[in-house]
Amino acid sequence: MGVRDYLEEGIIVFDGAMGTILQDKGLKIGEIPEKLNIESPEIIVETHKKYIESGSKIITTNTFGANELKLKNSGYTVEEIIHGAVKNVKKAIGTKNVYIALDIGPIGELLEPMGTLKFEEAYNIFKNQIIQGVKNGVDLILIETMTDLYEAKAAILAAKENSNLPVFCTMSFEKDKRTFTGCSILSMVMVLQGLGVDALGVNCSLGPKELEPIVEEILKISKVPVMVQANAGLPSIVNGKTIFNISPEEFALYGRRFVEKGVRIIGGCCGTTDKHIKSLVNGLDNVLVKEIKYCPINCICTPTNSVIINGVKVIGERINPTGKKAFKDALVKGNIDYILKEAIVQVESGSDILDVNVGLPEIDEEETMVKVIKEIQGVLNIPLQIDSTNPKVIEKGLRIYNGKAIVNSVNGEDKSLDSILPIVKKYGASVIGLTLDERGIPPTALERFKIAEKIVKRAKEYNISEEDIYIDCLTLTAAAQQEGVKETLKAIEMVKGRLKVKTVLGVSNVSFGLPNRELLNKTFLAASIYAGLDLAIINPMNKEMMDTIISSRVLWDEDKGAKEYINSFESIEDKSNSKDTQDIKEDLFNIILKGIKEEAKDATRRLLTYKEPLNIVNEYIIPALDLIGERYENGDIFLPQLIRSAETVKNSFEIIKEDLSIDSKEQISKGKIILATVKGDIHDIGKNIVKVLLENYNYEIIDLGKDVPKEKIVKEAIKNDVKLIGLSALMTTTVKNMEDTIKDLKEENPEFVVMVGGAVLNHDYANMINADFYAKDAREAVNIARKVLG
């Protein structure tokens, strides 16, 4: 019986932590635990055996960090480590009926646009791990502790494209129900189940009590089995040792509650031992599998923004070269800033989703689609509709897209359905079906309905769910086919009533060739909404069209209390139809807020013609960064947007520094700060983010890197006459090294000020190890620097 069969029958119990056990057995701080697969295999085998004896049915290999980047200086290859790890599990299992999970953790570097690691580079790193796992005979692939949805996608695609094994994927959430990078629960579920994982869920970061509301939310929306591997509570340091506060018995009580709520796969993470798992197994006696009724959700998303289609939503149509000379020129010249401005102004005008069409014969459409999607997603967190008739372009776009997109489109021709629907299914996208076929657009509603029926039937054959199918009944021009307009409305009613799928429509075609087009467009839009339209593809900068949608939400009881309607008309701004995106002259402040990196250079040059460099910094850059930081703290924006704005400031500073004399350059610095990840810890993502933001506030950063001995930190602090030192640690095992570093710094110079940060730390930890400040994130680090250095 395979893992998938076992999952259908009942509850699966995983093992618990590996690192906790290895630390108790003498694993040194900073030592790579995966090396023990080869150097001390008996310790690994013994650990696996204890979990098997405790009742674990799936054992994870000791390969959490077994990727080429983390093993770079280990002396071993990925192939050697994974071979040794699987061999150890097999030895521990013997003849027992226990399965082997290849354990894959995060790479340890941020992917673009937050970092420098390219998506396909991440994919290839995971691919190598998957191939070695399959080669050595694992039964399933466990992708865990992910905080970046994009990285999780790369890992899942690597698993699906290079094996036929079951794939489980879990992410780590904070108490605010978002991951470190801002990914929401709904976005995680939509994307992971769309990509075809066999199970999804949460692990690490929190104890079972803190995870409970997160798990409950996942259970409401997931249509695949849910997995939970909580920590043994929250950690604290006692006599230099990390202690978790939940006993095996209490852990088992929470585990039973999870299963009674509907969780199908349960195990332990940091701090759990074989005793926790044994109590958990015993506590699950006589617990029946709870069947969860799945409630379909029509949802398009980015990692941080989920748009639920439960009323009329707007798809902005302006990123499309059809009939737009300036846009065509921008595509040919590769003027991405022009395209970004089109995207930004549509979002500001009220778009819920943006259509992206870059189809021009004189450009490489595949390459351009990838570039435009990456750039838009680097600036905005709005979901995208990938618009092309070329299956290769669609696949390239879906592969690089971070989230769940809509594909525009398929039609009733078999060739279209067979070439595009498999791509839609593979990447977990939604799809628009056009009610036309090789005969063209049928004149009657009934004929269009029959094509829609065929599209829905064929999509379901590819296991594409109803909630991911949208039908476009197609708008005909009233000037040429007046009778066809009424047929479109009839077709919308038929599709909504009989097929139970959502509808979409490009509205403005109806008025082509007639005077006063806006009047016809808004009238037809209102009629379409009444007929059952869900997604209107329109120009969101047309105020009358947007007003029609806003008012319809009141009349259709979607805008409860008419709050959106009232807010929209309390402070009316003139968004006249003559307004063009490129007429808007952005100042540097807004450019930074929006993260338009290249535009920052030109804006700074313009300001330098009549303002002093330091005045630009104080009047534009610092206020913009403060507002960005405030929005980040409030959860209005997330890490990708924060980093994009910081990179935009970097571009501005490049121009400012060109204009400054050497003396002025020294004057612009607010002081020196040392940043370092402490000895034994090779994780520096958080430190690097802090560095970027501090540099933008004109602090001179001396970055000592990761795995830095305390002696070097003290030496560099003295040498550079530094007042503020920032220390980072991700692992509980390295907090003791942080404490020792602080002790040596204070003994050398009591005036040294130390701020600490990292996933395992909090205010209590910081106080316990005698740090002066705790920085929960990069924004707080800036606030601390201001207090200390001004």
Class of 669-789 in CATH: alpha beta
Q: What is the CATH number of domain 299-583?
A: 3.20.20.20
Amino acid occupying residue 737: N
Chain-centroid distance, C-alpha 526 = 35
Q: Do domains 3-283 and 669-789 have the same CATH topology?
A: no
Count of CB atoms situated within 10 Å of the CB of 674? 24
Mean pLDDT of the chain: 91
Contacts of 509 (CB under 8 A, 6+ apart): 475, 476, 477
> What is the band of 650 on the pLDDT scale with cuts at 50, 70, 90?
confident
Question: 540: helix, coil or strand?
Answer: coil
Count of CB atoms situated within 10 Å of the CB of 582? 13
Tell whether 269 is in a known binding site.
yes
DSSP labels, 91-138? HHHTTSS-EEEEEE---SSPBTTTSSB-HHHHHHHHHHHHHHHHHTT-
pLDDT of residue 666: 44
> What is the band of 576 on the pLDDT scale with cuts at 50, 70, 90?
very low
Q: Which residue has the higher pLDDT, 679 or 261?
A: 261
Tell whether 169 is in a known binding site.
no
Residue 607, CB-side half-sphere exposure with 13 Å CA sphere: 27
**Pairwise CA distance, residues 272 & 23, whole Å:** 12
Per domain, the residue ranges of the chain are 3-283, 299-583, 669-789
Count of CB atoms situated within 10 Å of the CB of 480? 10
**Pairwise CA distance, residues 553 & 562, whole Å:** 8
748-782 pLDDT, tens digit per residue, is: 999 999 999 887 778 887 888 889 999 988 888 98
Question: 65: helix, coil or strand?
Answer: coil
Has residue 580 got a pLDDT over 70? no
Q: What does the CA dihedral 577, 581, 584, 590 come to, rounded to 10 degrees? A: 120
Structure tokens at 677: 């990840």
Tell whether 204 is in a known binding site.
yes
Angle ∠(578,583,586) on CA atoms, nearest 5: 135
449 backbone dihedrals φ, ψ, rounded to 5°: -60, -40
Structure tokens at 388: 């092309």
Range 630-639 average pLDDT: 84
- Picking from 631, 626, 590, the residue whose alpha carbon sits closest to that of residue 607 is 590
> What is the band of 7 on the pLDDT scale with cuts at 50, 70, 90?
confident
Answer yes or no: CATH 3.20.20.60 is held by domain 3-283.
Answer: no
The pTM (predicted TM-score) of the whole model is 0.88
* Pair 680, 769: CB distance under 8 Å: no
* Pair 758, 728: CB distance under 8 Å: yes
Structure tokens at 343: 């995207």
**Pairwise CA distance, residues 169 & 159, whole Å:** 11
pLDDT of residue 559: 86
3-state helix, strand and coil shares in percent for the chain, rounded to the nearest 5: 50, 15, 35
DSSP labels, 393-461? HHHHHHHH-SSB-EEEEEESSHHHHHHHHHHHHHTT-EEEEES-BTTBS-SSHHHHHHHHHHHHHHHHH
**How far, in Å, are 347, 354, 447, 585 from residue 342 at the CA level?**
9, 10, 37, 13
Question: 697: helix, coil or strand?
Answer: coil
Bridge partner residues of 102 (DSSP): 141
Give, rounded to a whole angstrom, the gap between the first and last alpha carbons of the chain: 65
